[in-house]
Amino acid sequence: MRQQELIPHLFRTEFRKITAVLCKLLGVEHIEAAEDLASETFLAALETWTFKGIPENPTAWLYAVAKNKTRNYITRNNVFSTKVTTEIIYSRRDKEEIEIDLSEQNISDSQLQMLFAICHPSIPAEAQVGLALRILCGFGIEEIANAFLTNKETINKRLFRAREKLRTEKIKIELPSAVEINNRLQTVLLTLYLLFNEGYYSESDSNVLREDLCLEAMRLASLLTDNEQTNQPDVNALLSLMCFHASRFDARKGENGEMILYHDQDEKLWNQELITKGAYFLRTASHGDRVSRYHLEANIAYWHTNKTDTKEKWEAILQLYNRLLQIEYSPIAALNRTYALSKANGKKAGIAEAEKLNLVNNHYYFALLGELYTGIDNKKAKTNFKKAFELAKTHPDKQTIQKRIDSL
């Protein structure tokens, strides 16, 4: 790999590892410093490697430089004299050198602990996702801004407030007690779910960015299933859901990057390996006495891995949506449920149910009505598709709707 490709690649894989370990080492007071130290390490690589060439083991080089920079930072700022880390001074007093542990084990431990710190209930959901992207996924501020369709200043402010909150609440970077793990796990799962959805349904134009977001969410969910304490049914259900969705990455992209809808997708492009993984995690999730929204959504996604239109399939999907909506309402679930109902109970029943939803600001709502009226009352179908077209925000969405109008 040449240097132009190597540094961005290493940045992707190593920045987040270094940051997590340093956050854990320096404590919540110094999160920004940890991010800066990691950034400076890559800056140093860029400068040095340009002149001296790429070292034999680039990752080891990065770790060594990160360690040096961190030691300097600690000495310069007398980090360990602050109150928060007094325990660390005592435990390290007799050691001449501060240990900076960049082993695989400590990296994943630190990332897992950081995940729980970020998902502290006092931090708003938006900021949690932002902070997770920055610290656990190594995303740049601009990339985060793109993912959220906003500007860098907004993201910077959001992250600043989140770090401030971590400090003022004195949140410890550690795996909480078993009871607290259970309390916070739902927030952790929701953050990962949002992170994944941010990628899967993002209105950002960059496909690469979208997939990266999804893969990062899956990687973090795997950290949870790999740890005995956090390997719980809900977590497996969420990871299963992610696998099923991710299996359709290649199939849902057209030649020009446009979105291909589920029933127009080429099943041969579905990733069988991910489908098998999804099924494995779904089976693992089927323990315990609680059915979470992730169980229901993973089951729905499982039914979608078989494209054959059977009554049994749509009936099963309808009942899963019926249950899901009782636990967790969302407009998109309400729309999907109505589509499933029209498949199971007939289009007329579907139209009656759809009219009740009255989601008049949602272009998917009118697209669904258009779809249901097609073949029953094409004039009404057209009116609804036109409303959907007006409300749709992105070019690909408008394109898809236009195709439906043209086919009437």
Binding site for other proteins (CB under 8 A): 315, 318-319, 321-323, 325-326, 329, 333-334, 337-338, 341, 345, 353, 356-358
Kindly tell me which of 215 and 357 has the beta carbon lying closer to other proteins.
357
SS3 at position 102:
coil
The tokens for 172 are 């410890």
Kindly tell me which of 51 and 329 has the beta carbon lying closer to other proteins.
329
Minimal distance, residue 393 CB to other proteins, in Å: 23
Residue 43 burial (CB count, 10 A): 12
Kindly tell me which of 194 and 357 has the beta carbon lying closer to other proteins.
357
Minimal distance, residue 372 CB to other proteins, in Å: 14
Query: Could you give the C-alpha distances from 345 to 106, 138, 342, 369, in angstroms and in order?
Result: 54, 47, 5, 16
**Beta pairing partners, 102:** none
The tokens for 198 are 């941010």
Minimal distance, residue 335 CB to other proteins, in Å: 8
Minimal distance, residue 122 CB to other proteins, in Å: 27
Kindly tell me which of 40 and 353 has the beta carbon lying closer to other proteins.
353
Kindly tell me which of 149 and 332 has the beta carbon lying closer to other proteins.
332
- Is residue 221 within 8 Å of 236, Cβ to Cβ? no
Q: Note the Cα 121 to chain centre separation in Å.
A: 18
Minimal distance, residue 310 CB to other proteins, in Å: 16
**Which residues in 214-251 are b (16+ Cβ under 10 Å) and which e?**
bbbbbebbebbbeeeebebbbbbbbbbbbbbbbbbbeb
Task: Report which of 111, 79, 150 is spatially closest to residue 15, judged by C-alpha positions.
Answer: 111
Kindly tell me which of 319 and 399 has the beta carbon lying closer to other proteins.
319
Please state, in angstroms and rounded to a whole number, the distance separating the CA atoms of residues 201 and 44: 36
Please state, in angstroms and rounded to a whole number, the distance separating the CA atoms of residues 127 and 162: 6
Kindly tell me which of 123 and 341 has the beta carbon lying closer to other proteins.
341
Kindly tell me which of 260 and 357 has the beta carbon lying closer to other proteins.
357
Kindly tell me which of 64 and 325 has the beta carbon lying closer to other proteins.
325
Task: Report which of 96, 97, 74, 93 is spatially closest to residue 22, judged by C-alpha positions.
Answer: 74
The enclosing H or E element of 363 equals helix 363-373
Minimal distance, residue 126 CB to other proteins, in Å: 22
The alpha-carbon radius of gyration of the chain (Å, integer) is: 24
Minimal distance, residue 325 CB to other proteins, in Å: 4
Please state, in angstroms and rounded to a whole number, the distance separating the CA atoms of residues 126 and 140: 16
Please state, in angstroms and rounded to a whole number, the distance separating the CA atoms of residues 351 and 399: 24
Minimal distance, residue 164 CB to other proteins, in Å: 34
Minimal distance, residue 293 CB to other proteins, in Å: 12
